[in-house]
């Protein structure tokens, strides 16, 4: 798919909430257990057990969100020996977990550098304009609501799943949906993989519409070998939630400036008005 790098849509005020969200996601990721091993590519069993225990504590689990039933045994973070060799020790949880609150904490957890950087790139490019239109407080609430809608929407479709659900993708998908509603004609610089990365300036409705179409196709299981660990359905739900929440703001939204120049950034000849 295309990789967005910049949009031609200036803001009137500093997007402090967007910057704070990016900083919080990066800081949390740096302190997640098992990070050093994942970066070096040589995660030890001890690191993996610590990471599994951490995720079971702070990640959202569809089974817990829908049925409100917490597991009797969870990973403790320790390594033990069993009949099949070394593995992660499980035991009764030593903490009280709130499934609704776990949705909020899960929105700041990421499974890899690629997962984190991809999400933060989209948030940085599209979040500033949505925040500029909504205002700081309303934007922060909007971000959280989209994240919750995406998580619970995915959980409803996978009510018996015990796999941890992490990442800011659902909330950011809501930001993309709002951007599509508010600024469909804004121009976005993207890199298109065609032998080499070809820079193009495309309308937001095409970039974000194509992104949403891919998520919808992948959520149905088409185009991928398996659903894997990506919650495509959460992206779809978050995107639709963002569109609905932003729709009342569309009539009063000023259009983005009309970009000038050719696809590769060279200034166009002056246009005449007839």
Give one DSSP letter per residue of 100-145, joined into a string. HHHHHHHTT--SSHHHHHHHHHHHHHHHHHHHHHH-HHHHHHHHHH
**Which pLDDT score, from 0 to 100, does residue 217 have?**
93
Q: Alpha-carbon distance 66 to 70, whole Å?
A: 11
pLDDT level of residue 76 (50, 70, 90 thresholds): confident
Q: Please answer whether residues 93 and 74 qualify as being in contact, where contact means their C-beta atoms are separated by less than 8 angstroms.
A: yes
> Counting beta carbons within 10 angstroms of the beta carbon of residue 272, is it exposed (0 to 12), middle (13 to 18) or buried (19 or more)?
exposed
**Which pLDDT score, from 0 to 100, does residue 121 have?**
97
The model's pLDDT over 200-250, given as tens digits with 9 standing for 90+, comes to: 999 999 999 999 999 999 988 765 544 457 899 999 999 999 999 999 999
Mean pLDDT score of the chain: 87
Region 142-168: what's the mean pLDDT?
95
**Which pLDDT score, from 0 to 100, does residue 143 have?**
98
pLDDT level of residue 137 (50, 70, 90 thresholds): very high
pLDDT of 171 higher than 70: yes
**Which pLDDT score, from 0 to 100, does residue 221 have?**
75
Picking from 155, 176, 158, the residue whose alpha carbon sits closest to that of residue 240 is: 176
64 versus 258: the higher-pLDDT residue is 64
Task: Tell me the torsion sign for CA atoms 99, 104, 106, 107.
Answer: positive
The model's pLDDT over 84-96, given as tens digits with 9 standing for 90+, comes to: 777 788 889 888 8
Contacts of 206 (CB under 8 A, 6+ apart): none
pLDDT level of residue 259 (50, 70, 90 thresholds): low
**Which pLDDT score, from 0 to 100, does residue 254 have?**
84
% of the chain residues with pLDDT over 90? 61
DSSP assignment of 4-34: EEEEE---SS--HHHHHHHHHHHHHHHTSTT
Contacts of 270 (CB under 8 A, 6+ apart): none
Task: Tell me the torsion sign for CA atoms 63, 57, 219, 127.
Answer: positive
pTM of the model: 0.87
**Which pLDDT score, from 0 to 100, does residue 235 have?**
97
* End-to-end Cα, the chain, rounded Å: 39
Radius of gyration from C-alpha coordinates of the chain: 21
Region 114-131: what's the mean pLDDT?
96
């Amino acid at each position: 798919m295309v990789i967005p790098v910049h949009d031609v849509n200036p803001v009137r005020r500093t997007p402090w909430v967007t910057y704070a969200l990016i900083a919080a996601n990066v800081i949390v990721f740096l302190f997640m257990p098992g990070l050093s091993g994942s970066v070096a590519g040589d995660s030890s069993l001890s690191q993996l057990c610590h990471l599994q225990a951490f995720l079971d504590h702070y990640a959202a689990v569809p089974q817990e969100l829908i049925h409100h039933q917490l597991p009797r045994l969870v990973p403790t973070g320790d390594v033990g020996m069993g009949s099949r060799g070394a593995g992660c020790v499980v035991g009764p949880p030593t903490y009280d977990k709130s499934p609704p609150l776990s949705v909020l904490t899960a929105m700041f957890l990421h499974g890899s550098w690629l997962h984190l950087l991809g999400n933060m790139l989209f948030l940085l490019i599209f979040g500033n304009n949505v925040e500029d239109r909504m205002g700081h407080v309303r934007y922060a609430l909007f971000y959280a609501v989209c994240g919750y809608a995406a998580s619970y929407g995915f959980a409803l479709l996978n009510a018996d799943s015990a796999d941890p659900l992490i990442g800011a993708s659902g909330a950011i998908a809501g930001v993309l949906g709002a951007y599509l509603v508010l600024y469909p004609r804004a121009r976005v610089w993207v890199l298109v993989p065609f032998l080499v990365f070809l820079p193009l300036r495309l309308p937001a409705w095409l970039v974000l519409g194509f992104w949403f179409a891919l998520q919808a196709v992948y959520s149905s299981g088409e185009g991928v070998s398996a659903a894997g660990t990506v919650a495509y359905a959460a992206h779809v739900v978050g995107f639709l939630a963002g569109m609905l929440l932003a729709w009342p703001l569309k009539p009063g939204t000023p259009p983005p400036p009309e970009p000038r120049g050719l696809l590769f950034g060279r200034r166009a000849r002056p246009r005449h008005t007839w």
